[in-house]
Structure 1
């Protein structure tokens, strides 16, 4: 099982903080450093010093790291035109020598759109379908040929479809809990399907839907990577776990039920349950970005038992 670090910088983090976490994750041999794509904090935190842009952040980190993969859970489709996004991601892929992955979602947090004057359309999922078609279409168009797209929401005419990602094909992540449209979209476009903050039982159910949708499209169900995103709160002692839970404003019992909380042994046991229902990768939501000791503990006492 591949363990990755997933951050929520809108809750309050500078670029320097994110870079420090990314470098630590690389040194500790985590599979990737991912971040959310939000411009407004959530809950009771103040979000200071303010938001950082996901792809600008990843561009900077790309030049300061050398091995770790980089990506988003999830880039908000409402924030960027798909043609522009294809250019941004391809450029960061070049800057990282081919280490980028794109998680793309429809966008959902209306308040941040209001706060920064970003349109919040009603037909977000239909737009997401076209965005995926445009982004992947631009990347897959051979050099020297042109890409044209005539959709309901987006129209591109005779695009040179440049630049190209170094990888050739940037892995695309699609995720969510939807029972029909989400699995169908993942089956068509995704290299990885991610379900955020779901129980073992719900994960098994949703993975099954995606596998079935893929097979209906003529893809093998195993052609996709299946992953979870879960909050992490790990400590050597009960006191450590309680302290870490308090810092992020959560209760230990709730975290043990809905996330990965407790001793390293408890977390390994929980990860094995997810692995048993098909999860191949877990994004550890790290909410206290100053607590690098937790990353070290997980790398030392959890990772070797699930790798």
Structure 2
């Protein structure tokens, strides 16, 4: 399996902390460093020192790392117009030498939209804008150099776009789509995704959604095996019960609940938990790392979990 480190900086992290985690991710042999795209803290956290922009962060990390893949899980389509977003992602792909992966979603956290003056339309409209954004972004990236791109859609219109810059990766950076929607999400994934992700759900829920995506691919005439299937799980690993409890307390979670729903417990327990997802077709796991100061946590997983499943 591929092992990726997944961070939630809106809960409280500055660029230097993210850089330290990204460098540890690279040095310890993990496949990728990913971050969320949020502007507001969730739960009881104060979010200090405040949010960081996902693509500004990834641009910096693109120049300060050399091997790991970099991406978002996932960028909110409500935050950015699709044309400028295509430019930003292509530029970061260039800055990284072709290591970007592009997760995009419809947006869901209303409070952060209200806090920063971002329109938050109905769920139906958000999904329509999300799908149209994917049409535009892939259209811009796929337009040959020297030709122009036009789009006359319900929400966005582009005329005589030079469709520049181009990403380094061809035909484009991998696109990640995920979520639990039973109809529209699988259909959009079948149309656009290179990877389908389900975060923080039990094995049976993930398996059922993978089946829906496979069915949507069949309906669209696409080979479902072209997609990578992945999961995201909260990480809380320790060699002893005291170490596990300390790490759970640091992120405000209950050990028993994490053992039930996350990648938690001793290294062998974490291997077993991840293995259950591998058995239903997941070949990639995003380990949600919430205490960014605890780099020993990553070291433990790299040495005692990854070798058993990698």
- Distance in 2 separating the partners of 1:251 and 1:24: 26
- Distance in 1 separating the partners of 2:307 and 2:134: 36
Name the structure 1 match of 2:206.
Answer: 203
Name the structure 2 match of 1:157.
Answer: 159
Structure 1 position 94 matched with structure 2 position 97: no
Structure 1 position 288 matched with structure 2 position 306: no
- Distance in 2 separating the partners of 1:186 and 1:226: 11
- Distance in 2 separating the partners of 1:4 and 1:279: 13
| Residue 216 of structure 1: how far off its partner (Å) | 1.3
- Distance in 2 separating the partners of 1:36 and 1:271: 21
- Distance in 2 separating the partners of 1:163 and 1:303: 37
What are the Cα deviations for residues 27-48 of structure 1, in whole angstroms up to 9, with x where unaligned?
A: 0111100000001101111100
Give SS of 2:29's match: coil
Gaps of 5+ in 1: none
Name the structure 1 match of 2:149.
Answer: 147
Pick one of 115, 129, 134 that aligns with 2:131: 129
Give SS of 2:101's match: strand
- Distance in 1 separating the partners of 2:103 and 2:152: 24
**Number of equivalent positions:** 307
| Residue 162 of structure 1: how far off its partner (Å) | 0.4
Name the structure 2 match of 1:272.
Answer: 275
Name the structure 2 match of 1:189.
Answer: 192
- Distance in 1 separating the partners of 2:242 and 2:307: 24
Give SS of 2:299's match: helix
- Distance in 1 separating the partners of 2:131 and 2:118: 20
Q: 1:34-53 alignment to 2 at 5 Å?
A: 34-53=34-53
Give SS of 2:104's match: strand
- Distance in 2 separating the partners of 1:72 and 1:2: 16
What are the Cα deviations for residues 60-111 of structure 1, in whole angstroms up to 9, with x where unaligned?
A: 0000000000000000101000000000000000000000000000111111
Give SS of 1:289's match: coil
| Residue 158 of structure 1: how far off its partner (Å) | 1.2
Give SS of 2:37's match: coil
Gaps of 5+ in 2: none
Give SS of 1:227's match: strand
Name the structure 2 match of 1:18.
Answer: 18
- Distance in 1 separating the partners of 2:275 and 2:232: 15
More displaced, 48-57 or 214-223?
214-223
- Distance in 1 separating the partners of 2:200 and 2:56: 26
**Which of structure 1's runs of 4+ aligned residues deviate more than 6 A?**
none
- Distance in 2 separating the partners of 1:151 and 1:121: 17
Name the structure 1 match of 2:6.
Answer: 6
Structure 1 position 249 matched with structure 2 position 252: yes
| Residue 305 of structure 1: how far off its partner (Å) | 0.6
Name the structure 2 match of 1:180.
Answer: 183
More displaced, 118-127 or 88-97?
118-127
Using the size of structure 1 for normalisation, the TM-score is: 0.99
